[in-house]
Structures are given as C-alpha cells and as structure tokens.
Amino acid sequence: MSAPTDPEPGSRDRVPVSRRSTVRSGGEGDTPAPRRRLAVLGRLGLVLVLLLAVVATVVLVSRQGEFGRDDAGAEEIPALEVEPAPVQLGTVAQPGALAVPSLGGAPAAGAGQRTSLADWSEGIASRADVPARALQAYGVADQAVKREQPDCNLSWVTIAGLARIESNHGRYRGAAIAGNGDVTPRIIGVPLDGTGGNRTIGDSDGGVLDGDRVLDRAVGPLQFIPSTWAKWRSDGNGDGVADPNNIDDAALAAGRYLCANGRDLATGPGWRSAVLSYNNSDEYGRRVYAAADQYARASQG
C-alpha cells in the first residue's frame, strides 16, 4: 500500500489565458460623427468589461471545482527540485545524523524538555534550510517511534527527507507551520484519477480530508492518502486530534508507517523497503535519500 501521490506532476493548474479582443472598427467609408463614435466606443468598453467579468468568473469557478476550497493545491511538485542521489537503493542504509536529544515520557515533548529540542532543531535549521518547527516534529516522532519500535532504528532524517520531497516541509506554495504544528493553507494533492503516473483512487473520505467526494487526494505535509491516514492516523502533538494537516501528527504517522512490517532502517534493504512503501519508485527513493543525506551532513555541522 502506498501512502502519498506519485512525485511526478499529475496535472497542472491551467488558468485560461485571456484573449485579445477581436472587436473591429467600422469600414473606411462609414465614419460616424464624433458623438456617435464616442457612443460606439462606450458600448465596446462595456462589452469588454462584461467579457472580462465572464472570464474572471470562469477562472474562479474552475479553480473552486478543482480544489473545492482555497488551499495549496499541488500543481507544482517540490520533488522535481531535488536531484536523485547517485546511489543504488538496497545498498545504502539510512544516513547517520545528529541524534535527537532524549525527550522521554509521552510522544509530545513536555515544557521542561523544550529547551534541548529547541536548541537541537534551531541548530540544524540554520544549516539545512528546514524550518525549526518542522525539525521539532521529526525529532519528537523519532523519539516516539524509537520507544515503540526500537529495532526499526528510525531516524528523524528519513522523515525529513520524505517531507522535503512531499511538501518542502509544509512550505509548499506559501504554506506555513503554526506553533501548534498546523500547516496552512492545507496542502492537498492532485486528484488521483489515473493520469500523470498516479493510480486511480476513488473517494474514501467523503471529501472530509481532501475536499474531493469523487476521488481521493494526498493530504498534508507528508501527503497521506485519506485511506492510508485512516489506518495510520496519529496524534503527535498530544492535543487529542489526529490531523494529517498537522506536521506533528503527520510526522509520527509517517514514522510508524515507515517502520511497518518489522523493517530495520539501519539496513540497506530495510531503508529501501520503507521509503518505497511510501512511493514505489526507485527515482523517488533516490530523491529522498539525497535530501536525507544532505540533512544528515548539515546536522553534523
């Protein structure tokens, strides 16, 4: 089962290009009096205004039809900005990165533990071009999954690599992460209609998560398909709600998803199996590796 969309562009937002007016002037031997000419120009101006209004309405309606609401629809694909690493998947394990300060206790970091996690995340953020708030989410997920499944050896750096490819760490199309981890505007992928290398996935959520009652779309900073979220939904920030648009929740769910089936991400085959379970594409896996490796190096100064 695959969680997110294919990284290749499924479709692009097509905004109709307004066309040049084809209104013609009258014939040469048919010159109207100046006052009449003004009246004609006035009518032409009115027609032009009406035409522009119609075009604007069509653009607005078509955009609402595509996304259903004002969200960060996924017509640009961040993955394309990351060059696949020149590695053979299956031979490279999870890159070694600076460990997360031990948080202990519940999945959500308590107030007394914020300082060290904040220092850790801010130190890496400045070197890796990853929002510190996103790194905190990956760090908390790293610790939580390590407690749940120590043999998986999950590191935050794999979640960070995925998140870079899926949404540029919740920054896709101007989205931003709030203090509580919510990513707004919501990042909703293209309709999974079988085009652009995507599978066809019928609606499973009644549009509740993805705003689409006909098909499903990947949702949130880690781009979970609604049916996958239904199985792996997690509450990383401990607010009692599992929300794929919240980076804490999405990062914890992604970590658990990667560690499914007893995988060991410290091995080449285990890491490959984990990442390709997200998206069964060798090139995708090598992009994730490239991003994860970059963050691992940045974390070590």
Residues that bind Ca ion (CB under 5 A): 203, 205, 210, 212, 216, 235, 237, 239, 241, 249
CA pair distance 63, 11, nearest whole angstrom: 13
| Sign of the CA dihedral with 3 first, then 275, 238, and 148 last | positive
175 versus 218: smaller Cβ distance to Ca ion: 218
Q: Which of 172, 93, 171, 160 is nearest to 294 (CA)?
A: 160
- With respect to Ca ion, which residue has the nearer C-beta, 228 or 273? 228
Q: Output the smallest distance, CB 213 to Ca ion, in A.
A: 6
Structure tokens at 184: 């707004």
Tell me the closest approach of the beta carbon of residue 104 to Ca ion, in angstroms: 20
Instruction: Give the chain's radius of gyration (CA, Å).
Output: 24
Residues near 169 by beta carbon (within 8 Å), at least 6 away in sequence: 130, 131, 134, 160, 163, 177, 221, 247
Using alpha carbons, list the distances in angstroms from residue 137 to 21, 229, 235, 248: 52, 17, 11, 5
Closest to Ca ion by CB, 186 or 272: 186
**Smallest separation (angstroms) from Ca ion to the CB of 298:** 28
Closest approach of Cβ 239 to Ca ion, in Å?
4
Cβ closest to Ca ion, residue 193 vs residue 212 = 212
List, in order, residues 6 or more apart from 253 with CB less than 8 Å away.
Answer: 222, 224, 229, 232, 233, 234, 236, 242, 244
Rounded least distance, CB 143 to Ca ion, Å: 16
Helices (H) and strands (E) in the chain, counts: 8, 4
Q: Which is nearer to Ca ion, 6 or 216 (CB)?
A: 216
Which C-beta is closer to Ca ion: that of 92 or that of 175? 175
Q: How far is the CB of 78 from Ca ion (least distance, A)?
A: 22
Which pair of tokens denotes residue 226? 């609604």
CB of 243 to Ca ion, least distance (A): 5
Q: Which is nearer to Ca ion, 6 or 205 (CB)?
A: 205
* DSSP three-state, residue 236: coil
Strand segments, DSSP code E, in the chain are 72-73, 176-177, 183-184, 187-188
